[in-house]
Amino acid sequence: MGRDLLNDDQAGRLSLTSKIFNILRDDILNEKYKEGEKLIEAKLAEELGVSRTPVREALKQLELDGIVENIPNRGVIVKGITKQDIQDIFTIRIAIEGIAASWAAERITDEEIQNLKEIFELMEFYAYKNDLEKVAEFNTRFHEAIYRATKSRYLEQVLRDFQYYMKKTRKKSLQVEGRVEHALQEHREVLEAFIARDKERAQKTLSEHVNNSKKNVERLLSK
């Protein structure tokens, strides 16, 4: 019958369309469906064990997000995330993560700082164990903790979306020799800025970290 969406961890909290959207988005970003491949509504509905209506709605949402394109006489075609998309996301992140850092340094609570410390310590722990999957996971959590600390739901939503689309690229980036050690040091400097509640330093260190990540990814993409 396909995947049992009723057993999803988020069952009861997400609509069926949202669950299907998340599944298809993951599959596209993980390259189960390749760029240029056609997504057939009836086939997807059968695989997922659902009716065609929520699949159709999920495909519309994917089109709004720019991940697929509905081409007349061809159907829904996978666009995925291109090299240009990745470069654009990094350029935008450099600009607005600095703002996020500044706001978060002003608004962060003691509890949120403690949470940030714990996330960093876990990132450090898994780095020493050379578990890059976990390092990438806690890297994402570290940034998302900063976004929440801004107390700006709009900024948080935009940056969380960017983090989602960068997951696969982040894992590849961390595989570059020496990048994990550099990334840890950069996160340590960001954390110290937040502990000091120094918004200028927080803005500078986080922007530099994202810029260094951008340079690392650009080297990967040029190969």
pLDDT tens digits, 193-210: 999 999 999 999 999 999
Range 71-84 average pLDDT: 88
| Tokens 């659902």, located at residue | 50
3-state secondary structure of 39: strand
- Given a cut of 70, whether residue 2 has pLDDT beyond it is no
For the chain, list the domains and their CATH numbers: 5-78 (1.10.10.10), 83-221 (1.20.120.530)
d(CA 191, CA 19): 34
pLDDT of residue 202: 97
Listed range (133-137, 139-143, 167-171) with the worst mean pLDDT = 167-171
In sequence order, what are the residues at sequence separation of 6 or more whose Cβ sits closer than 8 angstroms to the Cβ of residue 185? none
Range 31-37 average pLDDT: 88
- Given a cut of 60, whether residue 3 has pLDDT beyond it is no
CB atoms inside a 10 Å sphere around CB 198: 15
d(CA 145, CA 114): 11
Angle at 113 between CA 202 and CA 191, to 5 degrees: 40
Q: What is the pTM of this model?
A: 0.78
Range 52-68 average pLDDT: 92
Q: Yes or no: say if 52 and 45 are a contact pair by the CB < 8 Å rule.
A: yes
Listed range (74-88, 132-146, 163-177) with the worst mean pLDDT = 163-177
What's the length of the chain?
A: 223
Which of 34-43, 144-153, 161-170 has maximum average pLDDT? 144-153
- Given a cut of 80, whether residue 80 has pLDDT beyond it is no
Q: What is the mean pLDDT of the chain?
A: 89
pLDDT tens digits, 114-140: 999 999 999 999 999 999 989 999 999
- What beta strand segments (E) does the chain contain? 38-39, 68-71, 75-78
- Cα distances from 221 to residues 61, 85, 88, 171, 173, in angstroms, run 28, 12, 13, 13, 10
